[in-house]
């Protein structure tokens, strides 16, 4: 079964880069890697997604390992507003585009 | 403003009393889903709908029903709620099956006693 594994929590200082790791060793060739985040008392919010190549957008960067068994979400300059639970997710393209969610990493930002 | 709305936001009910949680989106999205979120388990998909009158089971459909009579609405029905359905529920929508970004509602916290 498709699955992702993330650390339970991480701490970082404000205005420093943050690297959030994710292992997905069971990923298949067509599965996309998605990241969402959930701020306190809110619904999840899309961050970024990718398949094989590294991706950048206004929120973050996604670095995908060459064998695709792991990936890293990079926040280039974390602010207090980035404190949230970050979820690494597999989108199963062969299974009605189902999203398989990990348990998430709680990111704590220290001022 | 593009959004997904859910009602109610909070609900406390008793075992066996039928309830419906409504979900509505104003983005003309085809694909809608229901998830439940429990501590340590992330989000698990209950049901999804790829278009009007097209619904299918997700990972944890037991004890739930859905309907999709019109594009914007996707209600979640608990015919006979039980305490193990106490959870935080999220509705989500996206443009189409392969579209990347899902938009989530604010959540409904359900307690069944």
What local confidence, expressed as pLDDT, does residue B98 receive?
A: 65
Distance CA B65, CA B87 (A): 16
Neighbours of A90 (CB within 10 A): 23
In terms of residues, how long is chain A? 111
Q: Is B60 on the interface with A (CB under 8 A)?
A: no
Q: Is the pLDDT of residue A91 over 90?
A: no
Chain A residues lying within 8 Å of B104, measured CB to CB: 43-45
Chain B residues lying within 8 Å of A93, measured CB to CB: 98
What local confidence, expressed as pLDDT, does residue A95 receive?
A: 72
Distance CA A51, CA A65 (A): 10
Q: Is the pLDDT of residue B56 over 70?
A: yes
Write a three-state SS string for A10-31. EEEECCCCEEEEEECCCCCCCC
What local confidence, expressed as pLDDT, does residue A102 receive?
A: 84
What local confidence, expressed as pLDDT, does residue A2 receive?
A: 67
Cβ distance B4 to A42 less than 8 Å, yes or no, reads no
């Amino acid at each position: 079964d498709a699955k992702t594994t993330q650390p339970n929590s991480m701490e970082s200082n404000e205005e420093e880069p943050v690297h959030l790791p994710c292992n997905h060793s069971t990923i298949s060739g067509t599965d996309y890697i998605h990241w969402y985040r959930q701020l306190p008392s809110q619904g999840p919010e899309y961050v970024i997604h990718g398949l094989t190549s590294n991706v950048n957008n206004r929120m973050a960067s996604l670095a995908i390992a060459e064998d695709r068994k792991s990936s890293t979400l990079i926040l280039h300059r974390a602010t207090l507003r980035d404190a949230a639970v970050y979820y690494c997710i597999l989108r199963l393209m062969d299974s009605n585009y189902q999203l398989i969610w990990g348990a998430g990493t709680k990111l704590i930002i220290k001022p | 403003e593009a959004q997904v709305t859910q009602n109610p936001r909070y609900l406390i009910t008793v075992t066996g009393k039928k309830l419906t949680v409504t979900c509505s989106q104003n983005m003309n999205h085809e694909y809608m889903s229901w998830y439940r979120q429990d501590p340590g388990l992330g989000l698990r998909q209950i049901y999804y709908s790829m278009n009007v009158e097209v619904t299918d089971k997700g990972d944890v459909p037991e004890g739930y029903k859905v309907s999709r009579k019109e594009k914007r609405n996707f209600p979640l029905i608990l015919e006979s709620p039980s305490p193990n359905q106490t959870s935080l529920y999220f509705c989500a929508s996206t443009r189409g099956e392969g579209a990347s970004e899902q938009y989530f509602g604010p959540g409904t916290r359900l307690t069944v006693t």
